[in-house]
Amino acid sequence: MYESTSNLDWWHELPDVSRPDAVFSSSASDALEEITKMRALRRRATLAEFQLAAEYAELSGREAMIREGARAASGMAPVMHGERLSRMAGDGTPLVAEFASLELGPRLRLTPDAAWALMRDALAAKYRLPGIWALLKADRLEVWQARTLADLIRGLDAEQAAWLDSELSPRAAGMSPTRLEAHARALVRQLRSDEANDERDRDRARRRVEFTSSENGHTTGLTATLDAADAIGLDAQVDRLAEIFKRAGDSDTLEVRRAKALGVLGTPARALQLIQASLLDELPALVDEDGLDLDCPALGQRGHTCGTITVHPDRLLPKAEIRVHLSDATLRDADIEPDALVRVEALGPQLVSWLADLVGHTRIALRPVLTVDSLRPSDSYEVPTHLREAIQVRNPLSVFPFSKKQSESCDVDHTLSFARNGPPGQTATNNLGPLDRRAHRAKTHGGWKLDQPIPGCFLWTSPRNHRYLVTPSCTVVLDHEDFIALPDVA
């Protein structure tokens, strides 16, 4: 039960923002503290609202049942087309009065549907995800995360929801929001493998290609929804042709060359000639003063056979890298179940039975798993490819606090600056981490301090002396404290 509705002393901590000349801080540090205080207030207020939404929904159902019982006791007939009760949040949740959202919505300036969704998610979190609810009340998760999880379990029965809660709640607080949602989706997919296959079939039935001409008629927009496997192959082939154009002298940007490459694929004989000529190192001159020649006039050129395949067909396939992550147990199992889960980078959790579509029609290159701790350090400043790839696998995101930048797009930074005349082995996995360019500049020039006390874990100190620990899975605020007494929603 929420017990703090009358204790609103914390409300007076809010600044009066109605004055146009109001100044709330005398320094940047004071402003930073005030912003942090307001965020804490907002989190607590949002949690109180969420908890009260669950109580309001539950109480509305009880009061409706009391009213209906009183009518029956007095001999009155049920009201035709009157208010009904429903378990809006699924198995294991209380009955809710049908019209409750109509009362709540206007009070919160929400549509009735939005108010209904708020009550539904609050009840689902409270009754179907008790472990997540406890973390929420302890301020270890945010309301929006609980609502995301509540929405994911809508199709599960009570037993399935309880199992998912037992799997998620012990580790949810230590996971980044993105990873928590991805893990939850994978578990739901595992529980509902049959439905997942049906969903996949529905998604594939929505594949399409649309062309939209621009107003001036110079270009045409292209929108497409493809199979994941087809998209990977097409993307790789477009990249391949764009690189061929560059080798042949095309000076356009990569984006323009990729657009040209997609156009060339509309003339398969021309695309085949270019690819075969590139494999034979006898590219024709593709560019003149008017740009790329998209006709096929390369008479006399090796590879120009107007569609006849003159090299091994495997060599014509694009090189596309797909990283599939399997557990040790999956690798040891000789009879892998088709509904077992694997993780495919950039695509997320996939059923084993779906892998054939991804890798069944292209060249497969098996590479050993990189064990980061076993890799030898380098004496050079430049990071060797094998070390770079190992760091990207260990830390898939930039190691700056709360960053969501993928490590493949980041610099690989030396945690302790590389000393030209320093000891050997400075370029090592325990001194490297992916950093996006802005964070890299902040570390180098902006007063941020960085240590790597454990390989893969990064300890940051901000210029204003706030400290954060970044691990491969989450960011931990080390100097967090309660700035003010907030209403007790525990």
In terms of C-beta density within 10 A (0-12 exposed, 13-18 middle, 19 or more buried), how is residue 482 classed?
exposed
pLDDT at site 375? 75
Comparing 125-134, 150-159, 385-394, 474-483, the range with the smallest average pLDDT is: 474-483
> Could you report the per-residue pLDDT of 430-473, keeping only the tens digit for each?
999 999 888 888 888 888 899 999 999 999 998 888 888 999 88
Helix/strand/coil percent split, the chain, to 5: 45, 10, 40
List the beta bridge partners of residue 476. Answer: 469
The residue with greater pLDDT, 436 or 374, is 436
Q: Say if residues 426 and 379 touch (Cβ distance below 8 Å).
A: yes
Whether the predicted pLDDT of 321 surpasses 70: no
Region 10-17: mean pLDDT is: 60
pLDDT score at 363: 55
Q: What pTM does this model have? A: 0.61
In this predicted structure, the answer to whether residue 2 has a pLDDT above a threshold of 80 is no
Mean pLDDT score, 1-11: 47
Predicted pLDDT at 373: 65
Is residue 16's pLDDT more than 80?
no
CA distance 274 to 298: 10
Structure tokens at 170: 């012990």
Distance CA 291, CA 482 (A): 64
Task: Say if CB 429 and CB 394 are below 8 A apart.
Answer: yes
The tokens describing 74, both together, are 């007095």
Per the model's pLDDT, the better-predicted residue between 452 and 83 turns out to be: 452
Burial of 5 (0-12, 13-18, 19+ CB in 10 A): exposed
Average pLDDT over residues 185-213: 85
Contacts of 86 (CB under 8 A, 6+ apart): 95, 96, 98
Which residue matches tokens 């019982």?
69
pLDDT at 70: 76
The average pLDDT across 232-236 equals 89
- CB-based contacts of 359, cutoff 8 Å, min separation 6: 229, 322
Please state which of the ranges 22-26, 276-280, 478-482, 486-490 shows the lowest mean pLDDT.
486-490
Residues ≥6 apart with Cβ < 8 Å to 369: none
